[in-house]
Structure 1
């Protein structure tokens, strides 16, 4: 049976394509092991990402912007790699070009999305690790808190619990926007971020080192309540001080005490120690001048809810903010 020239050309192209496939490794034999390895790395970096984030400070940008950049780059690599593979390794047919282009672009979208989902946290953890590999000497810097923000990424609604969000590493964290030396954003736990929401007069002493990629490696955070020169209108004296003033036994002029440590500073001090000042049934705050010590004092009495007779007394110096006494009575 004789073949037309068109049929011969078609048969030759089919033979050439089948011969090429026999000499080439199937794509799934490469893709499946790679996907398994990437999935295992994704699981390994699941908790490491949160641990590394909470010890990192950013000079520009934030964790969300870093994630967005890494995910975008991985998506371009995944889609571009698929298109390059099709261009160089697959045969070209002008008649089927448009259909193949649309199908391969769809495959490229899948590859890009899969690479972003599996490798974003792996790349972010690798960047944090590289940043901490080569650091400068440890130093302690003072920063003032400008604002605090909590990123609570837990499911909020009933339907979101049944979404695919559990496949992603959506842990909650907090950000402290600070003003000071070089760094502008410090990542902390949600609990610490909630403590400083609405606080504008708190300084942080942060032990950190400058990392290789320009991010700070945080070693420790120590909140410090600041003191502002805001004189109070009236000062309540203790009984001993009133007796001394009434007797007038001393010929020297009376020393004037000013409470530089204000009520707002006491509120911050109590918040850092986990004392709820709104619980007036168990907590009371007074201020007075102690004649025996000749110093202005803030007194915070915390009554034990289990043992009502047991009271914890905290005395704070009204000018320096130093804790004079912290004991039970």
Structure 2
């Protein structure tokens, strides 16, 4: 999956629905004259809480990549309905009579767009993350134009204290030198015991509010058909206040589009900083993410028929019928 996602719009592209840009005041610019709406790269500090009782502390991953252009996708996500901070998106797949080949993708009917190439920004020095060694910084070198912590660097959990400034400084190479900052977020704690999806019923999400207001936002993605070929999803971007209601009308419309096995909801607390270089915008995203199964009446998920009630078999979309 690409690290990048398109900026918000009514008609959008990407393997997932687009994620919003940086909150007001996040990050900064190095003064370059590039287009800040053109997302070409991202560095992610992703963490997930422990998965269950008795499990070890949560996990953290750091990765980054920068391209010489925006990343196209075969799927266009279109706005079907919107209410409050949530919207229902449905996929559309363009068709090109002339195949685009392996180096490009059909992004609109009979329109191909070439995939961008990844390049180096030189060594990237990272400060502000919690390291088990207690050291204040580490350096990521590009390996096949990918950035990850070097062997031997072990990240603590959480990866950064809430409100702590995390800074990346790239020395420059194909891409010019730049710096980008974001803030640490507190680990997300979702308070829902079970999440039920029913027609004409909203979904009430609750989580422990952050210790500091104004640092993070909450991003929600509800996808109940991805194992059968995604038919739509609900995406929400909201203030990190501790609760969010997914509107009943959007939930009902999503159910009407169809379901597949193992439906899930993903809730992410994140802080986003950005900087602009000549080729476009580079983001630094610090996030804590939880993915939960959702319960839909009448739906039994399966990997094989032995998991189905008597008389039913496991279908290609991983449902018992």
TM-score range, shorter chain: under 0.3
* Greater per-residue strand proportion: 2
Please give the TM-score of this superposition, normalised by the length of structure 2.
0.25
Determine which structure has greater relative contact order: mean sequence separation of CA pairs < 8 Å that are 6+ residues apart, divided by chain length: 2
Please give the TM-score of this superposition, normalised by the length of structure 1.
0.25
